[in-house]
DNA sequence: CTATTTAGTTACTAATTTGTAACTACCAAT
DNA sequence: ATTGGTAGTTACAAATTAGTAACTAAATAG
């Protein structure tokens, strides 16, 4: 959860945006929607412009918010898989609404994500 | 439109969030959904914690993005009314989706906005 | 013994967003 | 002449978010 919108006005819409509004969070969530589970390193391939630090941070916030599950295998070298939680899956219709609205504006490459 | 998410990854969800993700934008949009038109000064009453500078800024971005219409009456003292544009009205289902999702988390005061 | 692999962490910096306080313009009323 | 009302603007500062580069750990491969 971000703190930007530490909004004295208690608004559900703002609250929802605080969950998904991180710069890379929608892309992370969509990746997990499409792939069931994704390893840390895989994210850095799927999202080339994200740094490991920011990726860690966004994943941790999503995990703290209960939207994703982090599963660590006690192996060396390490293996960590991320997946959507049941709660996270309830976001899918919301993401689709945002996607459809945002997509109408100008159709572009990865708009086919949902199709 | 904010620039925070100047995202090289062209994602419709991110794009949508860039339109509505300003700290006060959802509240402004919901106010306009409920009231048809709102004057500048009225916003400062409806949203007591917003400063005139930030209000101006958020309204201008919403106007530049085509979501709201600014109507200025040539009077003294000035009168300026804001309303949702037709394009802005297409956001309503999206805002509802966000509201419903955000509302399920913990029900609070102004959650009745949509009911 | 050194390099490789994976999933990070740390210290520091840069960019973006939000906020404060004081100021402007114009007309009407006191 | 001063005050009041509306809708701002300006210069500046603070808070938040994102990014860089270098570093860590532990086992395995060569």
Q: Is residue A110 part of a domain?
A: no
Predicted pLDDT of residue B113: 53
Residue B65 resides in a domain: yes
CA dist., res. B4 & res. A76, Å (int)? 37
Helix, coil or strand: residue A1: coil
Is A109 within a domain?
no
For tokens 């982090």, the residue is A70
CATH of residue A69's domain is 1.10.10.10
Residue among B4, B21, B103 whose CB faces A12 most closely: B103
| Among the listed residues A2, A21, A15, the one whose alpha carbon sits nearest the alpha carbon of residue A98 | A21
- Helix pair A92-105, B92-105: axis angle to 10 deg: 160
Share of chain B above pLDDT 90, in %: 77
Q: What tens digit of pLDDT does each residue of A25-75 get? A: 999 999 999 999 999 999 999 999 999 999 999 999 999 999 999 999 998
H or E stretch at B76: none
User: Does residue B103 lie within any of the structural domains?
Assistant: no
Residue A20: per-residue pLDDT: 96
Residue A47 near residue B11 (C-beta atoms within 8 A): no
Per-residue pLDDT reduced to its tens digit, B16-59: 999 999 999 999 999 999 999 999 999 999 999 999 999 999 99
Q: What is the mean pLDDT of residues B70-90?
A: 95
Cα(B66)–Cα(B61) distance, rounded to whole angstroms? 9
On average, the pLDDT of chain A sits at 89
In-domain check, residue A84: yes
Residue B6 resides in a domain: no
A112 occurs within a structural domain: no
Q: Which residue in the set A16, A98, A109 is minimally distant from B13, CB to CB?
A: A98
Q: Is residue A85 part of a domain?
A: yes
Range of the domain at B33: 14-92
Question: Chain B closest CA to A70's CA: distance in Å?
Answer: 21
Test mutation, B31, B65, B102, chain A, max A CBs within 10 A: B102
Nucleotide closest to residue B43 (CA–C1'):
D7
Quote the number of domains for chain A.
1
């Amino acid at each position: 959860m971000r703190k930007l919108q530490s909004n004295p006005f208690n608004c559900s819409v703002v609250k929802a945006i605080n969950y998904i509004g991180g710069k890379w969070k929608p892309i992370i969530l969509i990746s997990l929607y499409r792939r069931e589970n994704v390893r840390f390193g895989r994210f850095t391939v799927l999202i080339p412009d994200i740094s490991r630090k920011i990726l860690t941070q966004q994943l941790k916030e999503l995990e703290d918010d209960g939207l994703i599950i982090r599963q660590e295998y006690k192996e060396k070298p390490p293996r960590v898989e991320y997946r959507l939680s049941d709660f996270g899956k309830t976001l899918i219709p919301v993401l689709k609404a945002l996607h459809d609205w945002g997509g109408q504006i100008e159709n572009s490459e990865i708009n086919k994500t949902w199709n």
